[in-house]
Amino acid sequence: MNTIRYLSDPTLAPLLWPAIVTGLAIAALCSLLSVLVAIKRLAFIGQGISHAAFGGVGVAAYGASLGAAFLASPLAQFGVVFLFCLGAAVVIGMLTSRGKTEADTAIGIVLVLAMGVGAILLRLARSGVAVESFLFGDIFMVDWTDAITAWVVALLVLGVLWWVRRPLMFWAFDEPAAGAWGVHRRGMQLLLLCLLALATVTAMKLAGVILTTAMLVLPGASALRAGRRLGGVLVLACVVALAGVLGGLVLSFELDWASGPSIVVVLSAAFALARLIELVRARRRNFA
């Protein structure tokens, strides 16, 4: 098998193992959030925030062109993009907080505005910022520093989700009732959007927009169709995400496919299987 040969090769192994560890971190980071994304019907949020990052890249490039030397640092660029995406998430939350604007409409507005601002600023900057490499990362280009960063962010997000799990899940499943019982509805919404912004920017930089969007949608959507109880759904979402990453990377090694699309194919197959399980259960109930 190519997979075993590649991973045991002294030349290739140092390049491949960081990608695997980073992929598992992204799976852990996005899987639980994907359940909330599916419940709250925010499937478009990953695309919205990831494309809003284009505006952040424009701000960083324009700032560097004006003489802000610190913006030449990749870490500083990441910070600017994250803050821009965080601002975009807050604006989305403000637009939808009183129910006057649908979530998909708010996301679309912020997406096109951020991309327009980014395009203008990049045009004005006339710099050599590698926009494509930032927005469309390649998981096989990561190193151990990236892997550690991904796991730190993943543990941070998972820790916050664990800390607020009860009010957050109550709000996610029944927002009016949660508000009646004293849960701060707007606070929960902004918290979720901020966590999604952090997860999206981190995963996008390391693995690209397509894979990030898939990881924020497919594991949760699959788990909600195949699982019966909330605890089982959360565990199943993690299993689907981890299996999708490992299965996709194996396909990539064996068939010489691109890694990101391979993972998306495996996750899509998992969703199709979950949908089939849902249909079989419904059929059995109808005949019972």
Q: What is the pLDDT along the chain (288 residues), one digit of tens a residue?
A: 788 887 888 888 888 999 999 999 999 999 999 999 999 888 777 778 877 888 888 888 888 788 777 777 777 878 888 888 888 888 887 877 666 677 778 888 888 898 888 889 888 887 655 556 555 567 888 999 999 999 999 999 999 999 999 999 999 989 889 988 999 888 898 899 889 989 988 888 788 878 888 999 999 999 999 988 888 999 999 999 999 999 999 999 999 888 888 999 999 999 999 999 999 888 887 776
For 217, phi then psi, to 5°, come to -120, -55
> DSSP characters for 17-33?
HHHHHHHHHHHHHHHHH
Q: Which residues touch 145 (CB under 8 Å, ≥6 apart)?
A: none
Measure the CA–CA gap between 94 and 142, rounded to whole angstroms: 35
**What 8-state DSSP symbol labels residue 42?**
-
How many DSSP H helices and E strands does the chain contain? 14, 0
Q: Which residues touch 99 (CB under 8 Å, ≥6 apart)?
A: none
Task: Sketch the domain layout of the chain as residue ranges.
Answer: 2-287
Q: Is the pTM of this model over 0.85?
A: yes
Neighbouring C-beta atoms of residue 226, cutoff 10 Å = 21
Protein fold of 2-287? ABC transporter involved in vitamin B12 uptake, BtuC (1.10.3470)
